[in-house]
Structure 1
Amino acid sequence: MALGPFRFRIPTYSVEQISRKVSSRVASQEIIGARPTTHLLGPGEETVKFSSTFYPFHLNGGGLQQLEGIRGSCLDQVPLMLISVAGLVYGRWIILDVSDERTQISRSGYPQMVTVDMNLKRYVPRGGGSGFSIGLF
């Protein structure tokens, strides 16, 4: 899997779990003496969550460098292309947040295990889009 310049692959930093959430926009109109009518407003937001664990002590620190780059892209708020291992293009996404937990710290202060969660949101430029998306699963 690739997100912009970042590659998620074994052995440096692989994605172990992907969760996807899509929503639709629906509003109700109150009617006197009747049930509210339902108005279908179109597609809502789409989000993806990646979870992974990597072991930088055993991988010469490769995953830690990528993690710092991902944090920088999150702060820059630049839309990045999301592409599957099979080459399917899922469009542009914004990194909403990145959190990590570093454990099993060595005597030199180097983490031996890092667990990361990253949340993405589909980027839709002004003017919208067709709402069409290809499934991640």
Structure 2
Amino acid sequence: MIGFFGKIVFETSDQRILTFTGFQRSASSRWSNHDVIGAKPSSEYLGPGLDTISFSVDLNGQNGVKPRYEMNRWLRMERKGEVAPLVIGDAYLGVDKWRIKSVSQMWGVILNRGEVLSGKVDIELEEYVEKVGVR
């Protein structure tokens, strides 16, 4: 097992390949500028911002997955507003959980009766901090 997000397990085996590419994490801080008459503004550090993570999941029916089903799993989670931990290896990422900020589907090869043989889903996650004051 590579890791998981909620009930979605990233894995590679001789039976099934469901993994991600282009994993990118961004972090930022929050600042406020206070105007000062006759001088430059004074900057004040407010704290860390919410991290974001983006990645792509390439789906191929020849790798033991059902691309359309997997794409719709991400879409359903996003539409329900589900939050979940993100774990890669044995490490939890972030301070709490993550929410799906956006899902983008790309259908590749379509077979008879609309079966999707291959495709890709692009995911953007944003940190979800449930408790006030958690760092």
The TM-score, its normalising length taken from structure 1, stands at 0.83
Cα contact 2:66–2:117 (8 A) shared by 1: no
Residue 10 of structure 2 is aligned to residue 8 of structure 1: yes
CA separation of 1:2/1:120 partners in 2, compared to 1, >3 Å: closer, same or farther?
Answer: same
Which among 78, 81, 92 is matched to residue 82 of structure 2? 78
**Count of paired positions:** 128
Quick one: which of 114, 124, 131 aligns to 2:119?
114
Cα distance in 2, alignment partners of residues 4 and 107 from structure 1? 32
For structure 1, the 5+ residue unaligned runs are 131-137
Structure 2 unaligned spans of 5+? none
The CA deviation string for residues 59-109 of structure 1, in whole angstroms up to 9 with x for no partner, is 35434333322221111112101111x211123111112111101222343
> What value does the CA root-mean-square deviation take over the aligned residues?
1.7
What stretches of structure 1 move > 3 A for 4+ residues in a row? Answer: 59-64
Percent identity of the aligned residues? 23
Letter in 2 for 1:82: L
Match of 2:27 in 1: 22
Distance 1:125 1:60 in 2: 36
**1:87 corresponding residue in structure 2:** 90
CA distance in 2, matches of 1:62, 1:110: 9
In structure 1, how many angstroms separate the alpha carbons of the residues matched to 2:107 and 2:86?
A: 26
